[in-house]
Structure 1
Amino acid sequence: MKEQLFESILAQKDRLTEIADYIFDNPELSFNEVKASKVLEDYLEEEGFQVERGLGSLSTAFRAVYENGQGGPNIGLLCEYDALPMGHGCGHHMQGPAILGAASAIKHLCCGKHFKLTVYGTPAEEGGGGKIIMLKEGFIKELDVALMMHGGPSTQVDVKSLAAESIKVTYHGTSSHAALKPEQGRSALDALLLTFNAVEFLREHVAEDTRMHYTVLDAGGSANVVPGKAVGSFSLRSYSSRYLDEVKERFNKIVQGAALMTETTFEIETEKRLESKVPSYKLNDLMMKNAELINAPAMKSAREKTGSTDFGNVTYLLPGAVIRIAFVDENASSHSQDFLDEGKTKRGHDAMINASKILAATVYDLVETDNLVNEIKEEFSKTKSMM
């Protein structure tokens, strides 16, 4: 059956390549992916999926569903399609077409068991946190398993991702002339500088994988005025969402302490929260076995640690995995000219088709193997409880 799935995907190759190139040639930034979402939605509708165009507050998000009988697992295929200011330097133009090929093949050939196949279009991964918004608005949570693909220098899966919280702190003091009436001032900038120093001291007392960054957004004005307002931006990271909560609690105490020392007041605003991935080892193994089956290029062992992504928020709630497909040289990094240069080459097109095959084969295994989805969900719950 998997060979038939692969043949079905190859039969779509020309059309899928056209769509990938169209998205590449029409790069759209976060929340504005009008052309990309439409071309993906149109294809799924043509293939007989029930398509919802626009989800919640996101006009360029979509959900397309095919249901084979009643009951059975709900398998999710998620794709991104937003670009960077440089263009598609992260390979997101490949994700949607790869998902289309897999979804179509599964719909037409995988009919032995009852299941639901749900394709989610997830906009604004590049800094916008589209999946976070979708989760808050009730989408994606209904899935039993979530699968994605991403281009890269190697064919591999991921284990952990960084949880990250972006925080804005605003201090309010009392402004005064720094030379004539300094005693009347309560410096908001002093509070911010004390916070920076305290974060530096905190570095000695956190786990090794913790990262803390900061910068000044507003220093409060000229040097001869005691600033009545100062604003700083902070980023806290850890490979454990639970440990990040502990670090955040200590950070909050630092902010409070700086305000007490300077007799200022403060506001703490969480601007974005990315959760750490809960590894799904069974899903990872399944995807890599299917990568081996198709003889995918440049196969490597799993990336133990990766950066932050809004897909982490999905995989913190339910089992999920990303298959990364080699289409650039080994030392190339995402958000680079290397990714951009290979976007419309044979390597890029082949990576899209390879990913489509792996995803289709993995969905087939999840649907046709008795109790496999339940085993994956049980493993997920156990792994999360130990993180």
Structure 2
Amino acid sequence: MKTSIKSQIETQCDQGLSEFEAISEFVFAHPEPGGKEEVCARYLSDRLEQNGFKVWRAYQGMPTAFRAEWGSGPVTIAFLAEYDALPGYGPGHDEWAHACGHNWISATALGSAITLSRVFSSRDIRLVVFGTPAEETLGGKCELVQNGAFDDVDFVLQAHLGGHTMVRPKTQAMDSIEFSFFGRAAHAAMSPEQGINALEAVLLLFQGINARRPYWKKSASVAGIITDGGQACNIVPDYAACRFYVRDATRQEVETLTSTLQAIGQGAQAMTGARMETRFFENSFDELRNDETLCSVVEANLRRLGIERFYEPEYPGGSSDIGNVSHVVPTMYFELETGMVPPVYAHESGFLEAVHGPLARSSLRQAVLAMTWSVADILEAGNKE
């Protein structure tokens, strides 16, 4: 029975592969900033609607989020589409591009849902595709989790391209914190003693963080930039600001690390006299908690596809809002290697060659089959219980 269903799934996947590639290529050709993905959100939701899915656009008040549903079965499976791009590519480093492969992610999510809708009866399963904006910044999935979007979902699956194939990737929890310091302006040469230098507070904050950095665990990461350092060299800066991504293996550890940064900032405030304010400028991401049963099912189906090399990282790296999803519903997030030698990694300019075109065809097919076959296994296991 399982073999017959999987054969039907494979046939439907192969028949629809050109359609799924077209989805990937369209999103790749229309890179948009997070939260402003109007063209891609409309295109993806339209494609689902054309395939018989009921669609809710501007879902939960987010202009470029959507939810699409098909079927009314007892088990609800959700696939997550992403479609925001990254800045800083092209010859002038001023273009938006899909250097994280979100075009490929959208195609695998839609491809999996559409394939399953062509194989199963609507009485057997309920399929959901979430359009999740701004994964690279705000974290649209965090908003969806907070608003209960996954409360009626039984399982979530998502695939990503990467340098290695991983069914048990490790991501870091992350806080996005901004420090603002308020001083007093003065002429930097004639009356510096009348000023309070807000930029000095920012610099002391960086120095304090760097002084602590050698003593943090290998799982911890703090990366920051100065977003405002003053307006003119002959004016003591009365305002300066900086932003940090603070990461560690778990939410609890991140909160501890964030508290450390705030204490260092308070020290900079005391040393300079510049008043400090902090705020979280993006949603906080939780670490990924993949469901081990789903990991085993997906791994078995990847092996069925002839994939034998699996990489298991020693330490977590990077962050994604799918971590928040995995804290509220059984989730399987996995990565497939691009096939490029030497390997390329997300956010590198070379990654752009791997996420579309002929090179991405094989991985796109593998991802759709691995996820859809795994859904077949989930349904069969449920029927046996």
Q: What count of residue pairs does the alignment treat as equivalent?
A: 370
Structure 1 residue matching 2:310: 3-state secondary structure:
coil
> In the alignment, which of 165, 185, 195 is matched to residue 205 of structure 2?
195
Following the alignment from structure 1 to structure 2, what is the Cα–Cα distance between the partners of residues 344 and 224? 50
Name the residue aligned to 1:105: 115
The code of the aligned residue for 1:16 comes to F
Structure 1 residue matching 2:63: 3-state secondary structure:
strand
Structure 2 residue matching 1:351: 3-state secondary structure:
helix
| Matches for 1:367-382 after TM superposition, within 5 Å | 367-370=379-382
Name the residue aligned to 1:281: 292
For 1:242-285, what per-residue CA distance to the aligned partner results, in whole angstroms no more than 9, with x for missing partners? 10101112222222232233333211011122221123222222
Name the residue aligned to 1:90: 100
> In the alignment, which of 334, 338, 358 is matched to residue 346 of structure 1?
358
Structure 2 unaligned regions, length at least 5: 90-96
| Matches for 1:1-387 after TM superposition, within 5 Å | 1-69=5-73, 72-85=74-87, 86=89, 87-111=97-121, 114-272=124-282, 273-296=284-307, 299-304=309-314, 305-330=316-341, 331-370=343-382
Following the alignment from structure 1 to structure 2, what is the Cα–Cα distance between the partners of residues 306 and 39? 32
Structure 2 residue matching 1:370: 3-state secondary structure:
helix
Q: CA deviation at 1:372?
A: 10
Q: CA deviation at 1:12?
A: 1.4
| Cα pair 1:152 1:334 within 8 Å, conserved | yes
Q: CA RMSD in A?
A: 2.7
The structure-2 alpha-carbon separation of the partners of 1:19 and 1:263, relative to structure 1 and needing over 3 Å to count, comes to closer
The structure-2 alpha-carbon separation of the partners of 1:326 and 1:223, relative to structure 1 and needing over 3 Å to count, comes to closer
Structure 1 residue matching 2:367: 3-state secondary structure:
helix
Percent identity among equivalent residues?
A: 29
The structure-2 alpha-carbon separation of the partners of 1:303 and 1:63, relative to structure 1 and needing over 3 Å to count, comes to farther
The code of the aligned residue for 2:109 comes to I
Following the alignment from structure 2 to structure 1, what is the Cα–Cα distance between the partners of residues 113 and 300? 19
Q: Which has the higher strand share?
A: 1
For 1:276-328, what per-residue CA distance to the aligned partner results, in whole angstroms no more than 9, with x for missing partners? 112322222211111111224x6323345331222222223333222323333
Structure 1 unaligned regions, length at least 5: 374-387
Greater CA drift, 74-83 or 284-293: 74-83
Structure 2 residue matching 1:350: 3-state secondary structure:
helix
Following the alignment from structure 1 to structure 2, what is the Cα–Cα distance between the partners of residues 321 and 218? 40
| Cα pair 1:76 1:119 within 8 Å, conserved | yes
Q: CA deviation at 1:355?
A: 1.0
